[in-house]
Structure 1
Amino acid sequence: MGVLYDYFRAADDETVAASMAATNGGPLVGAAAPPEADVVEAKGVDPSVVLGQAVSLALDVPWDVNLVDDRLVWPDAGAAAAGHDGPWVVRLGDRARDVLAALAEDRLPALADRWSRIEELSWGEPAGMLPVLRRLVGLARRAQASGQHLYCWMSL
């Protein structure tokens, strides 16, 4: 079983903490999800490396582990340091959200094809990444339009 990654949008870190409390740590997909949750399931697409490479391809810049600028927002740093073994939520930098939101539809097929060829996605089918990219771009657009941020819930 791989690591699960669910991307979602929220107004702020406090809203995320409240959602995590309401769902006992998530996930935000399924029967326990708040009805207002806007979530994209993206198994195997971690924020720093895999999504970061999509952002680097979109910008046509070399990938860097800090490109997405994600930071832990739940649980708090004390719980994480005390050996909390998941799940976790990170907030993505707004630049990553804005890069994804700005992608034109006609760029998505070629970008998804290039993205599918990165080493970390070698397990998948190239055609399978286009729907994932479209869902992530849509989520980023909705987050940007509503003044919200992108977050990633992850669990082992």
Structure 2
Amino acid sequence: MGNLYDYFSAPDDPAALAAFGRGIEEAGLPLLPVKGIDPYVQLGQAESMLTGTPYDDVTSLPRFNRLLSSPDDDSRWLVTLTDELRDALVAAIPGGFAKVAETWSRIEEFGGDCPPGELVGFLARLADLAEEARTRPEPHRLYCLMSL
């Protein structure tokens, strides 16, 4: 079946953690559900491409996939995404995703079977979420709820 990823925005870590416990939609937060694009390796590589930052440097950022939920949970986890990713997504609007998606689609973790057009669509939807997060009166940050 594959892992499910719910990308969403929240004003801060406590609000994201509360939404994790209660339900993102129930909390009224913007949500982008997706199957098969993990926030660590796959999205981390996209962040590297979007920002021009080496992947190892991306993974060392303080908010890169920092676990907010309990490490003891064996089927659901909540992690932070970086503000650098949020801002790079917004900066790439409009139409800046085709070149990134072409390169990104060839990473090993996609197994060679991910059409670049699908990745452009995902990045555009994530960019919409990022733009909404950044332009709110109280700017939001991005998060990912992972489920088995």
What TM-score do the two structures reach when normalised by structure 1? Answer: 0.81
Matched, 1:136 2:126: yes
* Aligned positions, number: 142
Tell me if the contact between 2:42 and 2:109 (Cα under 8 Å) persists in the aligned partners: yes
Question: Which residue among 37, 52, 75 is the counterpart of 1:86?
Answer: 75
Tell me the residue number matched to 2:86.
97
Shift of 1:61: 3.3
What TM-score do the two structures reach when normalised by structure 2? Answer: 0.85
Tell me the residue number matched to 1:61.
53
- What fraction of aligned residue pairs are identical, expressed as a percent? 39
| Alpha-carbon separation, structure 2, partners of 1:54 and 1:96 | 9
Question: Which residue among 42, 62, 77 is the counterpart of 2:34?
Answer: 42
Matched, 1:73 2:68: yes
| Alpha-carbon separation, structure 2, partners of 1:60 and 1:15 | 30
**Partner AA of 2:18 in structure 1:** A
Tell me the residue number matched to 2:141.
149
Question: Which residue among 79, 97, 108 is the counterpart of 2:97?
Answer: 108
Where in structure 2 are there 5+ consecutive unaligned residues? none
Tell me if the contact between 2:98 and 2:116 (Cα under 8 Å) persists in the aligned partners: no
RMSD (Å) for aligned C-alpha atoms: 1.8
CA deviation profile, 1:68-100 (whole Å, cap 9, x unmatched): 62211123xxxx1xx320201111121221112
| Alpha-carbon separation, structure 2, partners of 1:90 and 1:117 | 25
Tell me the residue number matched to 2:43.
51
Tell me if the contact between 1:48 and 1:66 (Cα under 8 Å) persists in the aligned partners: no
Where in structure 1 are there 5+ consecutive unaligned residues? none
